[in-house]
Amino acid sequence: QAAAAQEQKLVVVSVSPQSRASLAVRCKLGLQDTAQRLTRFFKSVHYVFDTTFSRNFSLLESQQEFVRRFHRQADDKKSLPMLASACPGWICYAEKTHGSFIIPHISTTKSPQQVMGSLVKGYFAEQQHLSPDRIYHVTVMPCYDKKLEASRPDFFNQEYQTRDVDCVITTGEVLKLLEQEGVALAEVEPAPLDTMLGVPEAELCGHAGGGSGGFLLHILRHAGRELFGIREGSVRYRALRNKDFQEVTLERDGEVLLHFALAYGFRNIQNLVQKLKRGKCPYHFVEVMACPSGCLNGGGQIKLEGESSKEELQQVERLYESLRAEAPEENQAVRELYEHWLGGWGSERALQVLHTQYHALERASSALSIKW
Ligand code: SF4
């Protein structure tokens, strides 16, 4: 029995804010309520975290990485445009089809899921006096591609023979789990929300800038401040072909200082890649996401058929955006972890823990044809 107890792992579930919004709409609950009831539902496991927390680190690292790349653009032609890295659907495509050409443009910052993996198996394991392999880490995500991301060799700890994220379940799979157990989420007792620093979370917060994480907006604001001293610039969004391909500019006295874009869905990604290949890509940064409408519309989300599906997506978007938006640098727990665990902003350790690498696979997979 003692051996069995020793073998038992500490189980941590990290829930994405997109999955929470999708479940909230389907179960007709508020976001806070959904988070608290999910925490109770999962409480046969030990801790339930929110990946909004790890996204703070992804946003901060992306901001700093962009400024570094901007400064090096004269010496390194591939430092810009910087392309977002949070979507594994896009990363897989880029590695398989245009690997060596595109990889230098892709931000090395880990996605919120994988930052959470590093936090749980790194910081949290240390706090619990456990080795990383003594924790079993499950994430709840809006898409199936996050399963592929978690299984990348880059996120496998050779020393302890363990993954940063051991198992990924989609939002739809959580709904199935609830149904199989005969549980109505609305009838589950709410529980206080866990946080990594041990102080229960009183109120859920989100990030500004849309359902895919707000990378574009956060990088734009930060770069405006750092590179041009602009605190309140005029930011203009302009839809090009459709709302999934937009140009965003930061302007001062009519002069465009930063030119960003958002490209969602493979058709728009293909256009972007063509622009890059022809040397006609005018952007400094592009938020690239494989799903049309982004992560709130991910393949793993709960969906109705036909017209009602559109309406449900709009409800999910509205609910998702209803949370108070917090700037990542203002989060006290994030500051504390940077200071005491990572050794400060921009430290070597932060680079090592919060960044990753990509691999050109085009030759190995030349027989692979991807259809859109
Ligand atoms: Fe997953 Fe789609 Fe979001 Fe990419 S855009 S991370 S594929 S849900």
With vertex at residue 82, the alpha carbon angle to CA 279 and CA 290, rounded to the nearest 5 degrees, is 90
Per-residue pLDDT at 99: 81
Q: Write out pLDDT tens, residues 196-240.
A: 887 766 789 999 999 999 999 999 999 999 999 998 767 778 878
Per-residue pLDDT at 365: 46
What is the CATH code for 10-301+334-344?
Answer: 3.40.50.1780
Per-residue pLDDT at 232: 73
Q: Which CB contacts under 8 angstroms, 24+ apart, belong to 227-230? A: 227/67, 227/70, 227/257, 227/258, 228/252, 228/257, 228/258, 230/257
Per-residue pLDDT at 363: 60
- Rounded to the nearest whole angstrom, what is the distance from the C-alpha of residue 264 to the centroid of ligand 1? 9
Helix (H, G, I), strand (E, B), or coil: what is residue 162? Answer: strand
Stretches in the chain below the pLDDT threshold 70: 1-7, 200-201, 233, 307, 362-372
Measured between alpha carbons, how far is 33 from 219 in angstroms, rounded to an integer? 31
- Rounded to the nearest whole angstrom, what is the distance from the C-alpha of residue 279 to the centroid of ligand 1? 27
Nearest protein Cα to ligand 1, atom 7 = 89
Per-residue pLDDT at 304: 76
Buried b (16+ CB within 10 A) or exposed e, 48-74: bbbbbbbbbbbbbbbbbbbbebbeeee
Q: Which atom of ligand 1 has the smallest separation from the CA of 142?
A: 8
Per-residue pLDDT at 28: 95
Q: Which atom of ligand 1 has the smallest separation from the CA of 90?
A: 4
CA distances from residue 278 to 78, 271, 331 in whole angstroms, order as listed = 14, 11, 42
- Rounded to the nearest whole angstrom, what is the distance from the C-alpha of residue 262 to the centroid of ligand 1? 14
pTM higher than 0.75, yes or no? yes
Per-residue pLDDT at 149: 98
Helix (H, G, I), strand (E, B), or coil: what is residue 349? Answer: helix
The answer, yes or no, to whether any atom of ligand 1 lies below 6 A from the CB of 149, is: no
